[in-house]
């Protein structure tokens, strides 16, 4: 597992900590693999009864490392090869059997939000800020979020988050049903840890069966695959090239000049 994903097992809880604070915890391919491997490990190890995902530094995650997106858009063969086979984190989330708890502080961007839709309990800091700027980058939602987010918060709110990049704070995320509770940042880890330990203390077969009954893995996987095809096409498009260039140049993108 990459040093940017820390792993620790204690009290039946596998804690996965995103640990790239110098880069705003932006996720690389190796980090996706590390998170996915951890979730899969929990499903295969009966001694692990809950997974807790948290992050070091000032924010939860800035989402995908934009350098990876730029490399794919430019046609870099290594970057394109790395994306073959899909995103290992998303695949692991789709098939996860073990309950997942998330502790979210600071900013959560893109996949940092959509992964929460696969978590069974989500705790956010009151001053957390959730954004899903996919369309800002000329991309589309992923992680089956185009299915799961409207089901959770309604079409209008989800469309606003995806297309207008409306930011949602911790208290609003709780009111909308994205999170279970918003707490002061200083209390976040303790709150999430206590919840993970409470889950781990329950009858494991009953807990896993309940999680399975509440999910439709086939529908989730099918939606991920459809999103993935469109995402891949957009990632190589002139629209995304303009969006990434504008981001690097710290200006608003001008899609009117994109044929």
Write out pLDDT tens, residues 7-28: 999 999 999 999 999 999 999 9
Q: For 80-99, write each residue's pLDDT tens digit.
A: 656 666 899 999 999 999 99
Q: Which domains does the chain have, with CATH numbers?
A: 5-184+203-211 (3.90.226.10)
Whole-prediction pTM: 0.94
Assess whether pLDDT exceeds 80 at residue 149: yes
Q: What's the pLDDT score for residue 60?
A: 98
**253 φ, ψ (degrees, to nearest 5):** -70, 150
Assess whether pLDDT exceeds 90 at residue 103: yes
138-151 mean pLDDT: 98
Q: For 177-207, write each residue's pLDDT tens digit.
A: 999 999 999 999 999 999 999 999 999 999 9
Q: What percent of the chain has pLDDT over 90?
A: 89
Distance CA 259, CA 187 (A): 50
154-168 mean pLDDT: 98
Which residues, in sequence order, are CB contacts of 110 under 8 Å at separation 6+?
62, 63, 64, 131, 132, 133, 134
Residue closest to 123 by CA, chosen among 49, 38, 184, 43? 184
The strand pair at 129-131 and 168-169 is best described as antiparallel
Distance CA 1, CA 24 (A): 19
90/67: higher pLDDT: 90
Q: What's the pLDDT score for residue 259?
A: 66
């Amino acid at each position: 597992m990459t040093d940017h994903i820390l792993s620790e097992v204690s009290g039946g809880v596998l804690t996965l900590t995103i640990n790239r604070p110098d880069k705003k915890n932006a996720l690389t391919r190796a980090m996706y693999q590390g998170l996915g491997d951890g979730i899969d490990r929990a499903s295969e190890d009966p001694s692990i009864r809950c997974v807790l995902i948290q992050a070091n530094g000032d924010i939860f995650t800035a989402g995908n490392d934009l350098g990876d997106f730029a490399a794919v858009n430019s046609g870099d063969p290594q970057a394109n090869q790395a994306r073959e086979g899909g995103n290992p984190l998303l695949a692991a989330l789709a098939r996860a059997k073990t309950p997942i708890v998330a502790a979210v502080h600071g900013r959560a961007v893109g996949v940092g939000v959509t992964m929460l839709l696969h978590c069974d309990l989500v705790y956010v800091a009151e001053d957390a800020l959730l954004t899903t700027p996919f369309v800002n980058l000329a991309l589309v939602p992923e992680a089956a979020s185009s299915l799961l987010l409207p089901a959770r918060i309604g079409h209008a709110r989800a469309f606003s988050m995806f297309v207008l990049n409306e930011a949602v704070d911790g208290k609003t995320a709780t009111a909308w049903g994205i999170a279970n509770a918003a707490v002061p940042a200083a209390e976040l880890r303790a709150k999430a840890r206590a919840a993970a330990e409470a889950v781990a203390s329950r009858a494991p077969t009953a807990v896993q069966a309940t999680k399975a009954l509440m999910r439709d893995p086939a529908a989730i996987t099918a939606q991920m695959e459809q999103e993935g095809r469109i995402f891949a096409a957009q990632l190589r498009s002139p629209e995304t090239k303009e969006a990434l260039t504008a981001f690097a140049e710290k200006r608003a993108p001008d899609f009117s000049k994109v044929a």
